[in-house]
């Protein structure tokens, strides 16, 4: 058994959870926040048998698209202003960061 932890952008969460449910995969949602853009993310925990991992990874990849987003800079508060960029910059967002972890045991009470 494996635990798949997928960190996805909030904009992709509903599409992904719907696709997982269509294939009878259950997930638990946790509200999280990214450290780089300081925007909301969702971390999904999905428990599956070893043979289902590749199928779940395909579903995640199909439903979590990468896209460009303009990000307004945050001025440094008391920090070093040498690296401060005063205008918006384009960054890649979206996609998914996925961890596949072994599960030693599972209990459902």
| pLDDT tens digit sequence for 3-28 | 999 999 888 899 999 999 999 999 99
- Write out the two tokens for 83: 């690296």
Q: What is the pLDDT of residue 21?
A: 97
Measured distance CA(42)–CA(37) in Å, rounded:
14
Q: Determine the Cα–Cα distance for residues 7 and 35; give it in Å rounded to an integer.
A: 12
The residue to which tokens 């993310």 are assigned: 41
The whole-model pTM stands at 0.75
In this structure, how many other beta carbons lie within 10 angstroms of the beta carbon of residue 105?
5
């Amino acid at each position: 058994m494996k635990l798949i932890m997928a960190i996805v952008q909030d904009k992709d969460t509903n599409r992904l959870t719907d696709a997982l449910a269509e294939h009878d995969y259950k997930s638990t949602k946790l509200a999280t926040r990214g450290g780089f853009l300081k925007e909301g993310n969702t971390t999904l925990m999905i428990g599956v048998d070893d043979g289902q991992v590749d199928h779940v990874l395909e579903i995640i990849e199909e439903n979590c698209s990468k896209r460009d987003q303009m990000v307004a800079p945050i001025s440094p508060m008391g920090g070093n202003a040498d690296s401060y960029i005063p205008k918006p910059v384009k960054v890649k967002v979206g996609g998914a960061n996925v961890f596949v972890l072994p599960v030693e045991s599972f209990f459902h009470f």
